Amino acid sequence: MTPWVSVALTRDIEPGSATGTAVNGAPVALWRGADGVLHAWADRCPHRGMRLSLGFVRGARLVCLYHGWQFDGKGACRHVPAHPKMTPPSTVTPVRYRAVDRSGIAWVSTTDSSDTAVPERSAPETAPEPIRSVWFTADTERVIDRLRSEVEDLALDGHVATGQIDGVEIRAGIQKVDEATTAVHVVAVGNLPAETVTRLVRRLHDIRDSVTTTVEAVQ
């Protein structure tokens, strides 16, 4: 299993927001506090099992939608609305994963290996330009096979692809959402004109549509 998995473009998880995704079929809640720190937890409230991704962010806490329990960035429960004077038990904490922002992409590691190196950060002179996250209704290997034919000079390091599309240098994190769904999170190198970004987005959509059409024809 790849230790670090891309799950979104950094820009798409704004401060004060929460959303859901999946890593290798496991539901994950992504949220970013008002302080800008990215968090990734198992998408299950330790109280009653509600999906935490349906909750909302208040300051630097994630609030469960069901009973309003509030958890800080370290997973500690800090407030129970039904018992405001109660000190929440320290054992009530969500399963937390490691999460980082690197080179315009949000990454999550669901493994316990703390010595696994985080994804490399781009040098300042090659700051990333976010392009688009694209979801494919296809398994990861099929998507990678298609990228091999569409991306020039494609190089793969695990589920990270680099190469060129129409002469533009790109980096893509490939996320296995589940057995039948794959997401590709694409950034480009440097500041690009708006028309170049638009062209790249269209090319990505064409690649997605071609993979989907191929899958339907096979089925």
pLDDT of residue 158: 85
pLDDT of residue 119: 67
Q: Are 163 and 113 in contact (CB under 8 A)?
A: no
Secondary structure (3-state) at 14: coil
Q: Where are the domains of the chain?
A: 5-109, 126-218
Secondary structure (3-state) at 43: coil
Task: Give one DSSP letter per residue of 110-162, joined into a string.
Answer: -SS-TTSPPPPPPPGGG-EEEEEEEEESS-HHHHHHHHHHHSEEEEEETTEEE
Give every CB contact of residue 108 below 8 A, 6+ residues apart in sequence: 4, 5, 7, 23, 28, 30, 40, 97, 98, 99
pLDDT of residue 59: 95
Helix axes 194-218, 140-150, angle to 10 degrees: 130
pLDDT of residue 90: 85
What CATH architecture does domain 5-109 belong to?
3-layer Sandwich (2.102)
Measured between alpha carbons, how far is 24 from 3 in angstroms, rounded to an integer? Answer: 11
pLDDT of residue 164: 96
What pLDDT tens digit does each residue of the chain (219 aa) get? 458 999 999 999 999 999 999 988 899 999 999 999 999 999 999 998 899 999 999 999 999 999 999 999 999 999 999 888 888 888 889 999 999 999 999 999 988 655 556 666 655 556 789 999 999 999 999 999 999 999 999 999 988 999 999 999 999 999 999 999 999 999 998 889 999 999 999 999 999 999 986 655 555
Topology of domain 126-218, per CATH?
Alpha-D-Glucose-1,6-Bisphosphate; Chain A, domain 4 (3.30.530)
pLDDT of residue 117: 62
Measured between alpha carbons, how far is 177 from 8 in angstroms, rounded to an integer? Answer: 11
pLDDT of residue 89: 84
Measured between alpha carbons, how far is 9 from 110 in angstroms, rounded to an integer? Answer: 18
